Protein backbone atom coordinates (compact mmCIF):
# COMPACT_ATOMS: atom_id res chain seq x y z
CA UNK A 1 0.00 0.00 0.00
CA UNK A 2 1.38 3.42 -0.99
CA UNK A 3 1.84 6.17 1.58
CA UNK A 4 0.26 9.54 0.86
CA UNK A 5 3.26 11.69 1.85
CA UNK A 6 5.92 12.45 -0.73
CA UNK A 7 9.35 10.91 -0.22
CA UNK A 8 10.98 12.82 -3.07
CA UNK A 9 9.65 15.93 -4.77
CA UNK A 10 11.01 17.69 -7.84
CA UNK A 11 9.89 21.32 -8.21
CA UNK A 12 10.25 23.33 -11.42
CA UNK A 13 13.51 21.56 -12.24
CA UNK A 14 15.56 22.95 -15.12
CA UNK A 15 18.92 21.57 -16.27
CA UNK A 16 20.92 23.20 -19.06
CA UNK A 17 24.45 22.62 -20.33
CA UNK A 18 26.81 25.15 -21.84
CA UNK A 19 29.05 23.79 -24.61
CA UNK A 20 32.59 25.13 -24.86
CA UNK A 21 35.30 24.55 -27.46
CA UNK A 22 37.94 24.71 -24.75
CA UNK A 23 38.39 25.18 -21.03
CA UNK A 24 38.97 28.94 -21.30
CA UNK A 25 36.61 29.65 -24.20
CA UNK A 26 33.15 31.13 -23.90
CA UNK A 27 30.10 28.87 -24.39
CA UNK A 28 29.02 28.68 -28.02
CA UNK A 29 25.74 26.85 -27.40
CA UNK A 30 23.38 25.86 -24.60
CA UNK A 31 21.58 22.52 -24.35
CA UNK A 32 18.10 22.76 -22.84
CA UNK A 33 18.03 19.22 -21.41
CA UNK A 34 15.26 19.54 -18.81
CA UNK A 35 12.79 22.42 -18.75
CA UNK A 36 10.70 23.32 -15.70
CA UNK A 37 9.39 19.88 -14.70
CA UNK A 38 7.68 18.98 -11.43
CA UNK A 39 6.67 15.65 -9.92
CA UNK A 40 6.74 13.67 -6.69
CA UNK A 41 7.19 10.07 -5.68
CA UNK A 42 5.70 8.41 -2.62
CA UNK A 43 7.10 5.61 -0.49
CA UNK A 44 6.71 2.23 -2.16
CA UNK A 45 5.70 3.76 -5.50
CA UNK A 46 7.06 3.05 -8.97
CA UNK A 47 7.12 6.21 -11.07
CA UNK A 48 8.21 5.83 -14.69
CA UNK A 49 9.68 8.41 -17.05
CA UNK A 50 9.08 7.50 -20.69
CA UNK A 51 10.04 9.10 -23.99
CA UNK A 52 12.41 8.76 -26.91
CA UNK A 53 16.16 9.08 -26.49
CA UNK A 54 17.11 12.72 -25.96
CA UNK A 55 13.93 13.67 -24.10
CA UNK A 56 15.71 14.44 -20.81
CA UNK A 57 14.83 11.30 -18.84
CA UNK A 58 18.36 10.29 -17.88
CA UNK A 59 19.39 13.89 -17.21
CA UNK A 60 16.46 14.16 -14.79
CA UNK A 61 17.70 11.11 -12.88
CA UNK A 62 21.30 12.32 -12.87
CA UNK A 63 20.26 15.77 -11.66
CA UNK A 64 18.32 14.24 -8.76
CA UNK A 65 21.46 12.35 -7.76
CA UNK A 66 23.64 15.44 -8.07
CA UNK A 67 25.64 14.05 -11.00
CA UNK A 68 24.40 17.02 -13.03
CA UNK A 69 23.89 20.51 -11.65
CA UNK A 70 20.38 21.94 -11.63
CA UNK A 71 20.10 25.30 -13.38
CA UNK A 72 16.88 26.19 -11.57
CA UNK A 73 14.23 24.62 -9.38
CA UNK A 74 14.49 22.45 -6.30
CA UNK A 75 14.69 18.81 -5.20
CA UNK A 76 13.05 17.97 -1.86
CA UNK A 77 13.90 14.73 -0.07
CA UNK A 78 12.02 13.84 3.12
CA UNK A 79 10.92 17.44 3.49
CA UNK A 80 14.31 19.16 3.02
CA UNK A 81 15.93 20.74 -0.02
CA UNK A 82 18.76 18.61 -1.38
CA UNK A 83 20.40 21.73 -2.83
CA UNK A 84 20.97 23.12 0.68
CA UNK A 85 22.46 19.96 2.17
CA UNK A 86 25.56 20.00 4.33
CA UNK A 87 28.36 17.62 3.33
CA UNK A 88 27.18 15.03 5.88
CA UNK A 89 23.57 15.33 4.71
CA UNK A 90 24.70 14.92 1.09
CA UNK A 91 26.51 11.71 2.01
CA UNK A 92 23.39 10.37 3.71
CA UNK A 93 21.33 11.31 0.65
CA UNK A 94 23.74 9.39 -1.58
CA UNK A 95 23.12 6.32 0.56
CA UNK A 96 19.36 6.80 0.37
CA UNK A 97 19.09 7.36 -3.40
CA UNK A 98 20.92 4.99 -5.74
CA UNK A 99 20.99 4.55 -9.51
CA UNK A 100 21.23 1.53 -11.81
CA UNK A 101 22.98 2.82 -14.90
CA UNK A 102 22.07 1.91 -18.46
CA UNK A 103 25.30 0.15 -19.42
CA UNK A 104 26.60 -2.14 -16.65
CA UNK A 105 29.73 -3.05 -18.61
CA UNK A 106 30.99 0.55 -18.59
CA UNK A 107 29.77 1.13 -15.02
CA UNK A 108 31.58 -1.84 -13.44
CA UNK A 109 35.34 -1.50 -12.99
CA UNK A 110 36.88 -4.20 -15.23
CA UNK A 111 39.98 -4.40 -13.02
CA UNK A 112 38.00 -5.25 -9.88
CA UNK A 113 36.30 -8.49 -8.93
CA UNK A 114 32.61 -8.38 -8.09
CA UNK A 115 33.56 -8.89 -4.45
CA UNK A 116 35.73 -5.75 -4.51
CA UNK A 117 33.11 -3.77 -6.44
CA UNK A 118 30.46 -4.52 -3.83
CA UNK A 119 32.85 -4.08 -0.90
CA UNK A 120 34.07 -0.63 -1.93
CA UNK A 121 30.91 1.34 -0.97
CA UNK A 122 30.73 -0.68 2.27
CA UNK A 123 34.19 0.60 3.19
CA UNK A 124 33.45 4.15 2.00
CA UNK A 125 30.26 4.46 4.05
CA UNK A 126 31.62 2.36 6.95
CA UNK A 127 28.59 0.09 6.92
CA UNK A 128 30.25 -3.15 8.03
CA UNK A 129 33.65 -4.35 9.22
CA UNK A 130 35.69 -7.54 9.19
CA UNK A 131 33.96 -10.79 8.28
CA UNK A 132 30.59 -9.01 8.15
CA UNK A 133 31.66 -7.44 4.83
CA UNK A 134 32.07 -10.82 3.15
CA UNK A 135 28.73 -11.94 4.59
CA UNK A 136 27.04 -8.77 3.25
CA UNK A 137 28.51 -9.34 -0.23
CA UNK A 138 27.18 -12.92 -0.24
CA UNK A 139 23.73 -11.74 0.88
CA UNK A 140 23.62 -9.11 -1.87
CA UNK A 141 24.49 -11.65 -4.56
CA UNK A 142 21.79 -14.02 -3.28
CA UNK A 143 19.25 -11.18 -3.37
CA UNK A 144 19.88 -10.74 -7.11
CA UNK A 145 19.94 -14.50 -7.76
CA UNK A 146 23.69 -14.82 -8.27
CA UNK A 147 25.75 -17.56 -6.65
CA UNK A 148 28.01 -16.06 -3.94
CA UNK A 149 30.85 -18.14 -5.44
CA UNK A 150 30.76 -15.72 -8.40
CA UNK A 151 32.13 -12.96 -6.13
CA UNK A 152 35.69 -13.71 -7.24
CA UNK A 153 34.83 -13.25 -10.93
CA UNK A 154 35.37 -10.12 -13.00
CA UNK A 155 32.68 -8.26 -15.01
CA UNK A 156 33.95 -9.57 -18.38
CA UNK A 157 33.30 -13.12 -17.15
CA UNK A 158 29.59 -12.38 -16.72
CA UNK A 159 26.82 -12.41 -19.30
CA UNK A 160 24.84 -9.22 -19.91
CA UNK A 161 22.06 -10.34 -17.58
CA UNK A 162 24.54 -11.29 -14.85
CA UNK A 163 26.29 -7.93 -15.12
CA UNK A 164 22.98 -6.17 -14.74
CA UNK A 165 22.26 -8.25 -11.62
CA UNK A 166 25.66 -7.24 -10.24
CA UNK A 167 24.76 -3.58 -10.91
CA UNK A 168 21.51 -4.02 -9.00
CA UNK A 169 23.41 -5.62 -6.11
CA UNK A 170 25.77 -2.63 -6.03
CA UNK A 171 22.80 -0.25 -5.87
CA UNK A 172 21.41 -2.19 -2.89
CA UNK A 173 24.58 -2.02 -0.78
CA UNK A 174 23.40 0.98 1.25
CA UNK A 175 19.73 -0.11 1.58
CA UNK A 176 18.43 2.86 -0.45
CA UNK A 177 14.98 4.36 -0.07
CA UNK A 178 14.79 5.36 -3.75
CA UNK A 179 16.16 3.36 -6.67
CA UNK A 180 16.56 5.08 -10.05
CA UNK A 181 16.68 2.45 -12.81
CA UNK A 182 17.92 3.94 -16.09
CA UNK A 183 16.98 1.67 -19.01
CA UNK A 184 18.15 -1.41 -17.05
CA UNK A 185 17.02 -3.91 -19.72
CA UNK A 186 18.07 -2.11 -22.92
CA UNK A 187 20.70 -4.58 -24.17
CA UNK A 188 18.97 -7.75 -22.94
CA UNK A 189 16.82 -10.26 -24.79
CA UNK A 190 13.14 -10.49 -23.85
CA UNK A 191 13.59 -13.52 -21.57
CA UNK A 192 16.34 -11.92 -19.49
CA UNK A 193 14.47 -8.60 -19.60
CA UNK A 194 11.45 -10.25 -17.96
CA UNK A 195 13.68 -11.79 -15.28
CA UNK A 196 15.32 -8.43 -14.47
CA UNK A 197 11.94 -6.68 -14.27
CA UNK A 198 10.63 -9.40 -11.98
CA UNK A 199 13.76 -9.09 -9.84
CA UNK A 200 13.36 -5.31 -9.54
CA UNK A 201 9.74 -5.68 -8.49
CA UNK A 202 10.66 -8.32 -5.90
CA UNK A 203 13.49 -6.22 -4.47
CA UNK A 204 11.34 -3.07 -4.35
CA UNK A 205 8.72 -4.94 -2.33
CA UNK A 206 11.23 -6.67 -0.05
CA UNK A 207 13.19 -3.51 0.77
CA UNK A 208 10.09 -1.23 0.76
CA UNK A 209 11.75 1.09 -1.74
CA UNK A 210 10.41 3.63 -4.18
CA UNK A 211 11.58 3.33 -7.77
CA UNK A 212 11.99 5.79 -10.63
CA UNK A 213 12.07 3.70 -13.79
CA UNK A 214 13.44 5.31 -16.96
CA UNK A 215 12.61 3.77 -20.33
CA UNK A 216 11.60 4.45 -23.93
CA UNK A 217 9.35 1.35 -23.92
CA UNK A 218 5.75 2.06 -22.90
CA UNK A 219 4.87 -1.63 -23.20
CA UNK A 220 7.31 -2.51 -20.41
CA UNK A 221 6.50 0.53 -18.31
CA UNK A 222 2.77 -0.21 -18.38
CA UNK A 223 3.38 -3.51 -16.57
CA UNK A 224 5.44 -2.24 -13.64
CA UNK A 225 4.38 1.37 -12.98
CA UNK A 226 1.99 3.00 -10.56
CA UNK A 227 2.27 6.33 -12.39
CA UNK A 228 3.78 7.42 -15.70
CA UNK A 229 5.32 10.71 -16.82
CA UNK A 230 5.67 11.15 -20.59
CA UNK A 231 8.58 13.43 -21.50
CA UNK A 232 9.35 15.18 -24.77
CA UNK A 233 12.25 17.57 -25.39
CA UNK A 234 12.86 18.04 -21.67
CA UNK A 235 9.23 18.68 -20.75
CA UNK A 236 6.46 16.57 -19.21
CA UNK A 237 3.62 16.46 -21.76
CA UNK A 238 1.39 13.95 -19.96
CA UNK A 239 1.22 12.31 -16.54
CA UNK A 240 -1.14 10.09 -14.62
CA UNK A 241 -1.88 6.65 -13.24
CA UNK A 242 -0.34 3.96 -15.44
CA UNK A 243 -3.70 2.49 -16.50
CA UNK A 244 -5.08 5.92 -17.37
CA UNK A 245 -2.08 6.89 -19.52
CA UNK A 246 -1.97 3.53 -21.33
CA UNK A 247 -5.72 3.04 -21.81
CA UNK A 248 -6.69 6.67 -22.39
CA UNK A 249 -3.69 8.61 -23.74
CA UNK A 250 -4.46 12.31 -24.01
CA UNK A 251 -1.38 13.73 -25.76
CA UNK A 252 -0.67 13.03 -29.46
CA UNK A 253 2.90 12.07 -28.53
CA UNK A 254 1.71 9.44 -26.05
CA UNK A 255 -0.67 8.04 -28.64
CA UNK A 256 2.15 7.95 -31.20
CA UNK A 257 4.40 6.06 -28.78
CA UNK A 258 1.69 3.47 -28.18
CA UNK A 259 1.05 3.02 -31.91
CA UNK A 260 4.75 2.33 -32.50
CA UNK A 261 4.86 -0.65 -30.11
CA UNK A 262 5.19 -3.99 -31.98
CA UNK A 263 2.45 -6.55 -31.27
CA UNK A 264 2.69 -10.29 -31.75
CA UNK A 265 -0.65 -10.59 -33.56
CA UNK A 266 0.03 -7.71 -35.99
CA UNK A 267 2.24 -7.66 -39.11
CA UNK A 268 5.27 -5.40 -38.98
CA UNK A 269 3.78 -3.31 -41.80
CA UNK A 270 1.06 -2.16 -39.40
CA UNK A 271 3.54 -0.32 -37.16
CA UNK A 272 3.19 3.46 -37.22
CA UNK A 273 6.60 5.04 -36.58
CA UNK A 274 6.75 8.63 -35.39
CA UNK A 275 7.81 10.66 -38.41
CA UNK A 276 10.68 13.13 -38.14
CA UNK A 277 13.10 13.56 -35.27
CA UNK A 278 13.24 15.42 -31.98
CA UNK A 279 13.98 19.14 -32.53
CA UNK A 280 17.36 20.50 -31.55
CA UNK A 281 17.77 20.93 -27.76
CA UNK A 282 19.85 24.02 -28.54
CA UNK A 283 16.74 25.95 -29.56
CA UNK A 284 13.95 27.12 -27.27
CA UNK A 285 10.55 26.24 -28.71
CA UNK A 286 8.05 29.12 -28.58
CA UNK A 287 5.06 26.78 -28.72
CA UNK A 288 4.41 23.08 -28.25
CA UNK A 289 7.69 21.12 -28.48
CA UNK A 290 5.93 18.33 -30.43
CA UNK A 291 4.56 20.72 -33.08
CA UNK A 292 6.90 19.72 -35.94
CA UNK A 293 5.96 16.01 -35.67
CA UNK A 294 2.36 16.22 -34.53
CA UNK A 295 -0.39 15.00 -36.90
CA UNK A 296 -3.15 16.51 -34.73
CA UNK A 297 -2.02 20.14 -34.41
CA UNK A 298 -4.84 22.65 -34.36
CA UNK A 299 -3.15 25.65 -35.98
CA UNK A 300 -0.67 28.46 -35.36
CA UNK A 301 -1.42 28.42 -31.63
CA UNK A 302 0.53 25.14 -31.41
CA UNK A 303 3.54 26.80 -33.04
CA UNK A 304 3.50 30.07 -31.15
CA UNK A 305 2.10 29.39 -27.68
CA UNK A 306 3.08 26.85 -25.04
CA UNK A 307 0.09 24.71 -24.00
CA UNK A 308 -1.10 24.98 -20.41
CA UNK A 309 -1.60 21.97 -18.19
CA UNK A 310 -5.12 20.53 -18.06
CA UNK A 311 -6.03 18.15 -15.23
CA UNK A 312 -8.63 15.41 -15.51
CA UNK A 313 -9.87 12.66 -13.19
CA UNK A 314 -7.28 10.88 -10.99
CA UNK A 315 -4.80 13.73 -11.55
CA UNK A 316 -4.37 12.71 -15.19
CA UNK A 317 -2.69 15.78 -16.72
CA UNK A 318 -1.83 16.83 -20.27
CA UNK A 319 -0.12 19.83 -21.86
CA UNK A 320 -1.79 20.13 -25.26
CA UNK A 321 -3.89 22.72 -27.09
CA UNK A 322 -6.36 19.96 -28.02
CA UNK A 323 -7.42 20.11 -24.36
CA UNK A 324 -7.53 23.89 -23.97
DSSP 8-state class, residue 260:
T
268 occurs within a structural domain: yes
The mean predicted confidence, pLDDT, of the chain is: 90
Percentage of the residues of the chain whose pLDDT score is greater than 70: 97
Would 189 be classed as within a structural domain?
yes
Dump pLDDT digits (tens) for 274-311.
888 888 888 888 899 999 999 999 989 999 999 999 99
Is residue 1 domain-resident?
Answer: no
Q: Is residue 288 part of a domain?
A: yes
Owning domain of residue 282: 6-323
Q: What is the DSSP letter of 243?
A: H
- pLDDT at 13 > cutoff 90: yes
Q: What is the CATH number of the domain that holds 175?
A: 3.40.50.300
Q: Is 298 a member of any domain? A: yes
- Please, which pLDDT band fits residue 4 given cuts at 50, 70 and 90? low
Question: What is 184-236 written as a DSSP string?
Answer: TTTTS-HHHHHHHHHHHHHHHHHHT-EEEEEES-HHHHHHH-SEEEEEETTEE
Number of domains in the chain: 1
Record the pTM.
Answer: 0.91
The predicted structure's pLDDT at residue 278: 84
Whether 63 and 99 have beta carbons less than 8 Å apart is answered as no
Amino acid sequence: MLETLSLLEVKNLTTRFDLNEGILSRPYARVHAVENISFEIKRGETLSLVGESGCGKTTTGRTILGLEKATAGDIIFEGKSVLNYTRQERQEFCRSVQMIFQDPYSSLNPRMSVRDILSEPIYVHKLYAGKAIESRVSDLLRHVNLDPEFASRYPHEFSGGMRQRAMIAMALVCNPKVLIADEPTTALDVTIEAQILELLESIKSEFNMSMIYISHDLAVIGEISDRILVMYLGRIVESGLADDVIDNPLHPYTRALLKSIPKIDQPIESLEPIEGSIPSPFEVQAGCPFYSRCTERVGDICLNQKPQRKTYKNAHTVNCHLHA
